[in-house]
Structure formats: structure tokens, C-alpha cells
Amino acid sequence: MFKKLVLIFFSFSMLFSQDFTLKPVIKSFLIPGWGEKTLGNKKRSRFFSNIEISLLTTCVGSYLISHHQLLQYRTYASNHANVIVKGKNHKYWVDIGNYLNMDEHNAEHLRWREFDAIYDRENSWSWDTKSNMKKFEKMRIKSDYYKKAGEYILGATILNHIISAIDVIYLSKVKELSFLPKIDKEKIEMQVIISL
């Protein structure tokens, strides 16, 4: 833990020291739009910054909704299936959404000879109605859906960092980019001129 704190402190001291300057590519990789702003391209900087803010907001929202749904379905299971909520893993919550009670679950897994999947009395459950079990399962699936969506959005956020860094490389290398259309009687062409 101490080594991590020293490394973080050293990194931040390097970032803010007088002698150390970050290249625009690194700036954009850390915070999308920062490198574009350094190069004087405010329009692109705003574009990448707005995407970053939107993605992060959506990601946090998705995880918060997922967590809220998780709390709801656990409370629902506690009220309608006499579940002791503490210390249960995700597999347990999937299982109680698929079987009316622990005895049904254990009997089926004994037939399949899956002895590791059998629950003891501490993990017992018994749904009061099948409709409550189905409602619980929908709530659990909804929570899992929002959690998975948050993971995908987090991936898109990382991709935004990479694309912003590539954009800075493009902006720093290319001085002029122009398109010249050529129209003949037989064909239409587009000529791209890149000045480095």
C-alpha cells in the first residue's frame, strides 16, 4: 500500500513540476480533449470532452441503477422467500430465481450428480408464490443488465481516450488536408491531399 502511495505521489509531482511537460498525446490519453486544446483545436477538444463527460455520467448512472436494483431484489427475496441476505454470491441469487425452494434445487442437482452445487440449511429459501419468484428473477436480470451495460460503457470510455490520443497524433503530423473532386464523363474521382 505504501509503495502505491509513493508511486502516485511521485507521478503527480512529475505532472506539476516546472521541468516536466506532458506531450499532447499523453494529455489526450489521460483526459480526452486536453491534447487537442494544447494544439489550439478547441472544437475537437470540446467534442472529445463532451463525449467523455457523457460516457462517464452514463456509466455511473448505469452502475447506480444496477446497485439499486440489487438492493431491491435482495429485499424482495428476503420478504417473499425467507432468504438471509448476508454472504450470498451471485450464483445463489440466480439459483433462487430458478427454483421454488431449496429442496427442488438440491434434488435436481443430486440427479445431475453435481454435489458441489447443493445448498445446506443455512442457505435455504422457499418462495411464497411462483409469481413472486418470477418477479424476483426479472428484477435480478434487470440489475445484471445495467451492470453489464456499465462495463460496456466503461470500455467505450477507454476507447474514447485512445481515439483522442490518435487524433492528437493526426493533428500534430498533418498540416493540411484537402479533398479535390475530379469529374470526367466516364467516372467521378476524389483526390485526397495530405501535407505533413
pLDDT in tens, 9-40: 655 555 555 445 678 888 988 999 999 999 99
* Widest CA span in the chain: 84
pLDDT > 60? residue 125? yes
What pLDDT score does 5 carry?
Answer: 60
- Nearest Cα to 98, choosing from 130, 71, 66, 63? 130
Q: Range with the lowest mean pLDDT among 8-17, 150-159, 176-185?
A: 8-17
155 vs 29: CA distance, rounded Å: 14
Q: Identify the H or E element spanning 164.
A: helix 130-173
162 vs 32: CA distance, rounded Å: 8
Q: Range with the lowest mean pLDDT among 58-67, 99-108, 128-137, 183-192?
A: 183-192
56 vs 61: CA distance, rounded Å: 8
What pLDDT score does 196 carry?
Answer: 53
Q: Residue range 96-122: average pLDDT?
A: 93
**Global pTM value:** 0.74
pLDDT > 80? residue 48? yes
